[in-house]
Amino acid sequence: MIQIKNVSHFIQSTAILKQISCSFTEGKIYGIIGPNGAGKSTLLQLLSGTVKPSSGEICLDDKPVHLIARKKLARYMAVLLQEGIPPLGFTVREIAAMGRFPYQNWLGGEDADVENMIDEALAAMGIEHLQHRKLEQLSGGERQRVALAKLMVQNPSLLLLDEPTTYLDIGYQMQLMDQVKAWQQERKLTVLAVLHDLNLAAMYCDEIMVLHQGQIAAVGTPAQVVTSELLGNVYNTKAVVFDHPEIQVPQVLLTPGN
């Protein structure tokens, strides 16, 4: 589905990614973790086709992503960037409706039942009561849920999420990730999510890629990747890893003073 072939990327003379090669198959949730500056958000930008790698190639079904027409690509791929949606004076419902742009004809119309799709997306994110508010009237967490509702209306096959739980308290973090998981399973989506919270990554991701200093340090299941030794090497801190008592996935406790 997605192939990353010997990709390197430089910003000015600084190497952000160095000879990255890997692939992502359909129907899984992949987590991308690593310390600040490891190249996680840059990799997501390259995957989205908004930035062309300095060298190497990123392909979607064997075609370079940056060569695919933007509107055609948007029917297949939806992206939630770290900075979210800027407040531009639109209501929540109007923003959610923007997710249908890739499917509209030149007059702005389409045959799908758009209003029902918007209703379902707003209800799924628990923001139907906010639908007539302007985005600038919302909290950071509410804006994040609006952004995800817009992606749901877009109805992609591939979802790229850059720190989707930013600004959310722990209750809404779990709600959002539960919704992403349910949505992924219902529609057989492929999800690539940059996550800082290692415990969330272990609970929700089928596989995890660890980036460190612009290179792949490890790829595997949460049990294979989330280990005290690897986390110590990558994050330079002492981590205690144990199994979650109910769902048997690794969870991380940090030790102060290390």
pLDDT digits (tens, 9 = 90+) for 71-82: 889 989 999 876
Q: The domain spanning residue 242 has which CATH number? A: 3.40.50.300
Residue ranges making up the domain that contains 163: 2-254
Q: How many domains does the chain have?
A: 1
Pair 84, 33: CB distance under 8 Å: no
pLDDT mean across residues, the chain:
90
Tell me the pTM. Answer: 0.89
pLDDT bucket at 114, cuts 50 / 70 / 90 = confident
Question: CA–CA distance from 214 to each of 19, 42, 55, 230, 252 (Å)?
Answer: 9, 10, 14, 16, 23
Stretch 222-246: mean pLDDT: 94
Q: Which of 89, 88, 85 is nearest to 99 (CA)?
A: 85
Stretch 19-35: mean pLDDT: 95
Stretch 245-255: mean pLDDT: 93
Pair 201, 208: CB distance under 8 Å: yes
With a cut of 90, say whether residue 207 has pLDDT above it: yes
